[in-house]
């Protein structure tokens, strides 16, 4: 398969968020079942799943949707998982990252290594990886492009929401009455595992009180 038309997607100085979302997902969907959407049941995935399944001629339905279950997800996240499957009519594949020696308890006993191992399993044989990364989320993500090449894994990384703001997301969610994680209404802008996540703006609530800002899945953006 030829590489995606990344130049058109990333060089414009005035990028329309809605058009960039659709264009980038269309590029990703060209990989069919060898494209993987990693779903964490946050507001970003509400928008991504809705748009993916609206693509022309059902092409988005071939994309594999995967979640990583650490065994310590919020009850609200589990409820959102069920709501996504019901609303979008999809079956979400699960990669297990639960703690073999008992539940993860936080930064001192964190899921990071198991989560990264689960990601590698999910991306095995994949040609494309669809993420919910946005530039607005923090300094480690500020230079995210719509389409990037992950040379280490030998695949394309698609970030359809790179140029979306928090306001853009909520406008789309309310316009289309999309299901979303109710923790967002309780001040959680970013949602991870229950032991490590507190309410906060941006990613401030993740691993609060520590220097940690990424779980390890997107370390290529650090720096």
Q: What is the pLDDT of residue 201?
A: 72
Closest CA to 127 of 63, 76, 170, 187: 63
Residue 2 lies in a domain: no
Please check the confidence at residue 14 and state whether its pLDDT lies above 60.
yes
This prediction has a pTM of 0.86
Quote the strand ranges of 116-187, DSSP E. Answer: 128-130, 147-150, 155-158
Q: Are 62 and 68 in contact (CB under 8 A)?
A: no
Q: Does the pLDDT value for residue 155 go beyond 70?
A: yes
CA distance 130 to 137: 17
Strand pairing of 147-150 and 155-158? antiparallel
Q: What is the CATH number of the domain that holds 165?
A: 3.40.50.620
Distance between CA atoms of residues 67 and 133, nearest Å: 15
Query: Would you state the pLDDT for residue 109?
Result: 85
DSSP element (H, E) containing 150: strand 147-150
Judged against a pLDDT cut of 50, whether residue 221 lies above it is answered with no
Is residue 223 one of the residues assigned to a domain? no
Catalytic residues, which ones? 215
Strand, helix or coil at 167? Answer: helix
| Residue 81, in any domain of the structure | yes
Q: Is 122 within a domain?
A: yes
222 pLDDT tier (thresholds 50, 70, 90): very low
pLDDT in tens, 102-137: 899 987 788 889 999 999 999 999 999 999 999 998
10 located within any domain? no
Q: According to the model, what pLDDT value does residue 68 have?
A: 97
Give residue-wise pLDDT tens across range 50-104.
Answer: 999 999 888 999 999 999 999 999 999 999 999 999 999 999 999 999 988 889 9
Total domain count for the chain? 1
Give 156-201 pLDDT, tens digit per residue: 999 999 999 999 999 999 999 999 999 999 999 989 999 889 888 7
The predicted structure's pLDDT at residue 5: 58
Residue 178 lies in a domain: yes
Range of the domain at 81: 15-218
Is the pLDDT confidence value at 33 over 80? yes
Residue with more model confidence, 30 or 200? 30
């Amino acid at each position: 398969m030829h590489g995606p038309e990344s130049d058109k997607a990333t060089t414009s100085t005035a990028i329309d968020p809605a058009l960039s979302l659709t264009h980038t997902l269309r590029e990703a969907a060209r990989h069919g079942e060898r494209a993987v959407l990693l779903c964490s049941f946050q507001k970003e995935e509400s928008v991504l799943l809705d748009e993916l399944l609206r693509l022309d001629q059902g092409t988005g339905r071939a994309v594999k949707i995967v979640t990583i279950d650490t065994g310590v997800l919020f009850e609200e996240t589990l409820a959102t998982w069920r709501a996504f499957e019901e609303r979008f009519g999809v079956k979400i594949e699960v990669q297990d990252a639960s703690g073999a020696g008992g539940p993860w308890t936080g930064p001192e006993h964190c899921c990071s290594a198991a989560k990264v191992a689960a990601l590698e399993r999910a991306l095995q044989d994949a040609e494309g990886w669809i993420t919910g990364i946005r530039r607005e989320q923090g300094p480690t993500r500020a230079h995210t492009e719509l389409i990037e090449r992950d040379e280490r894994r030998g695949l394309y990384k698609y970030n359809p929401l790179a140029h979306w703001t928090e306001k853009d997301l909520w406008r789309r969610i309310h316009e289309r009455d999309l299901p979303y994680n109710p923790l967002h209404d309780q001040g959680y802008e970013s949602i991870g595992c229950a032991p490590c996540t507190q309410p906060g703006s941006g990613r401030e609530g993740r691993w609060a009180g520590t220097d940690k800002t990424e779980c390890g899945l997107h370390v290529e953006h650090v720096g």
